[in-house]
């Protein structure tokens, strides 16, 4: 399994190139960090890697990667659904019964520091809680690759620290994990850091 971008070049109309002949290789079991100042193209590169944006030059190879999840910077979810419903649903899609799925969801939510929040509505969660919930949901979906965009940008330091801990726990030998961030604490946890603002 591997997610590899080769010779990526991309620009938006009327602007200089964000990337010029850039190559990135991401393998499972490692946390890959995309860093750089605002406007350097971190979110754009995630879009390219995920197949949501076609670059003007270069190719992206997704070897043995059949599903990709994206956790956005600003958590978005159905406001009137409970937290446990949002994490249980992916297990139901995989054929589990409601009770089996709910049990797995509760275990996953506890791992992500959300024990006791199972029946809370999404709209009632704090920013850190909703971010962790969507990360838990991404793991429940069993994606081959998870792309995380600026997960701590809108959080207070304490909530951010918890989210960083959760992201490091998401790294798995059967999952590619890539995070775009400018948070020095999260960068320090990455196995490899790619600076999009260099040069």
The Cα–Cα gap between 91 and 159 comes to: 27
Q: What are phi and psi of 18, to 5 degrees?
A: -70, -45
Domains of the chain and any CATH numbers: 2-195 (3.40.50.300)
Q: Can you give the pLDDT of all 199 residues of the chain as single tens digits?
A: 999 999 998 877 666 667 888 999 999 999 999 998 887 889 999 999 999 999 989 999 999 999 999 998 888 888 889 999 999 999 999 999 999 999 999 999 998 889 999 999 999 999 889 988 999 999 999 999 999 999 888 888 888 888 899 899 889 999 999 999 999 999 999 999 999 876 5
* pTM of this structure: 0.89
């Amino acid at each position: 399994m591997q997610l590899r971008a080769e010779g990526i070049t991309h620009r938006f109309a009327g602007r200089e190139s964000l990337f010029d002949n850039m190559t990135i290789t991401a393998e499972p079991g490692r946390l890959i960090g995309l860093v750089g100042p605002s406007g350097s193209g971190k979110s754009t590169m995630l879009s390219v890697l995920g197949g949501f944006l076609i670059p003007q030059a270069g190719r992206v190879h997704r070897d043995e990667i059949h599903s990709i999840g994206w956790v956005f910077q600003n958590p978005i979810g159905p406001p009137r659904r409970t937290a446990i419903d949002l994490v249980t649903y992916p297990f139901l899609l995989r054929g589990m019964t409601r009770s089996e799925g709910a049990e797995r969801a509760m275990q996953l939510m506890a791992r992500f520091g959300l024990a006791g929040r199972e029946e809370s509505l999404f709209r009632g969660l704090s920013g850190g809680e909703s971010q962790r919930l969507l990360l838990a949901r991404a793991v429940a979906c069993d994606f081959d690759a998870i792309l995380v965009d600026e997960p701590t940008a809108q959080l207070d330091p304490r909530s951010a620290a918890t989210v960083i801990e959760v992201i490091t726990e998401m790294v798995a030998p059967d999952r590619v994990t890539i995070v775009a961030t400018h948070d020095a604490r999260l960068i320090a946890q990455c196995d490899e850091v790619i600076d999009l603002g260099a040069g």
